[in-house]
Amino acid sequence: MKHLFFGGIHPKYNKEMSTQITTFHSITPKQVVIPMQQHIGAPCTPLVAVGDRVLRGQKIGDGEGLCVPVHASVSGTVVAIEPRPHTSGRLVNAIVIENDFQDATVALSGNDLPLEQLDSDEILHAVREAGIVGMGGAAFPGNVKALSAMGNVDTLIANACECEPYITADDSLLRTDPEHVLEGMQILKQVLKPNRAILAVEDNKAEAIAKVNSILKNYPGIELAVLPTRYPQGAEKQLIQALTKREVPPGQLPVSVGCAVFNVSTYAAIYRAVRLGMPLIQRIVTISGEAIAEPQNFIVRIGTPFHDLIEVAGGLHDKTERVISGGPMMGIAQSDLAVPVIKATNSILCLLKDQNGAAENPVCLRCGKCVSVCPMRLQPLYMYRFTNAGRVEELKRLNVLDCIECGSCAFTCPGKLPLVERFRKGKQMVREASAK
């Protein structure tokens, strides 16, 4: 079948590694580190002090403007409020909680009214107070995204493509708990009133597809779209094109073409927030790669240090080259395994030395392969050249800010150029020039 968006690649997916163990294991760490910055926007301000006892689900940080709160994922005592390593590579102010292993939980108040009686403002308030962000990696505040889509979209999309190699967190969610995803879609449908609601999944997830199909009749107005597997189909602009044939213009958002896209884990979190009153304090995380002893999916408390999860998964191979937060294409290599799982952490990927593939002296062969696979129809070879030369105006003309950093260009580059790394630098140069 012809692919439904421009460009893209077919990497080796390696998803079977983390699905051999079919039951989830939960991990409850001795200590959690809750960063005040887990979303796009302003960081939270701590609402507790060192020495305070907190309950599981208690709001411990919040702020004004583009900000959503953070909550304690365990009950226990606040032992520190200080900068700690973050998956972004920066130090971020965080609240450190010593777990008392009692899981004493705040009083939860869900809404059990029939779907048609749910009030849109109350739904958005619940989503905001639960601290829900985009859980596919973008981490944009969910209530703000939904509010901007109200009255402006005709198509609501649930993104279950999970096209990055190794990662199976969303696949596992659909195989074990698709009802919460579909319930969350129904709730957001009540807010946005779209003409269509589509759950999109790639055809390499047969068990998840069968599970959703078996219950879909209970959720009228939601359709299942099974798409041919191709990376980066999970990128929202490519997914919109595949499903609707609409192309989001350069510099624009999906709402400009009447679409709103949310990750399936986000929908499940919306269900738990609205119906159960439960804030976002845990998520499914894939730990996989040839350098981890027991690849699998875990239910993980937000704030769990990477090294705790790695230990429970059997530990690292002694020839481990890198540990990545996210997938091999778009993830960020970590220098400190004390970094915590945050709301957008869907995977911890552990790779061996012989999988690096980087060249000591990368060189552009001007073959044009990067142009043929770029899903945004950009010109990576020129963007690379102009970034190295510091030519900001040319980078603007080439729409470098539209780069989604998917890594398709680097994957196909025979010269092994560090393309994505340079494009991040080029985008930073453009933003800094525009701010002057």
Q: Tell me the pLDDT tens digit for each residue of 42-73.
A: 999 999 999 999 999 999 999 999 999 999 99
Q: Tell me the pLDDT tens digit for each residue of 218-248.
A: 999 999 999 999 999 999 999 999 999 999 9
State the architecture of 28-108+279-354 in CATH terms.
Answer: Roll (3.10)
> Which regions of the chain carry the CATH code 3.40.50.11540?
109-276
> Which regions of the chain carry the CATH code 3.10.20.600?
28-108+279-354
- Give the per-residue SS3 of the chain: CCCCCCCCECCCCCHHHHHCCCCCEEECCCEEEEECCCCCCCCCEECCCCCCEECECCEEEECCCCCCCEECCCCEEEEEEEEEECCCCCEEEEEEEEECCCCCECCCCCCCCCHHHCCHHHHHHHHHHCCCECCCCCCCEHHHHHHHHCCCCCEEEEECCCCCCCCCHHHHHHHHCHHHHHHHHHHHHHHHCCCEEEEEEECCCHHHHHHHHHHHHHCCCEEEEEECCCECCCCHHHHHHHHHCCCCCCCCCHHHHCEEEEEHHHHHHHHHHHHHCCCCCEEEEEEECCCECCCEEEEEECCCEHHHHHHHCCCECCCEEEEEECCCCCCEECCCCCCECCCCCCEEEEEEHHHCCCCCCCCCCCCCHHHHHCCCCCCHHHHHHHHHHCCHHHHHHCCHHHCCCCCHHHHHCCCCCCHHHHHHHHHHHHHHHHHC
CATH code of the domain occupying 109-276: 3.40.50.11540
Q: Tell me the pLDDT tens digit for each residue of 336-394.
A: 999 999 999 999 999 997 554 556 678 888 999 999 999 999 999 999 999 999 999 99
pTM for this prediction: 0.94
Q: Tell me the pLDDT tens digit for each residue of 258-279.
A: 999 999 999 999 999 999 999 9
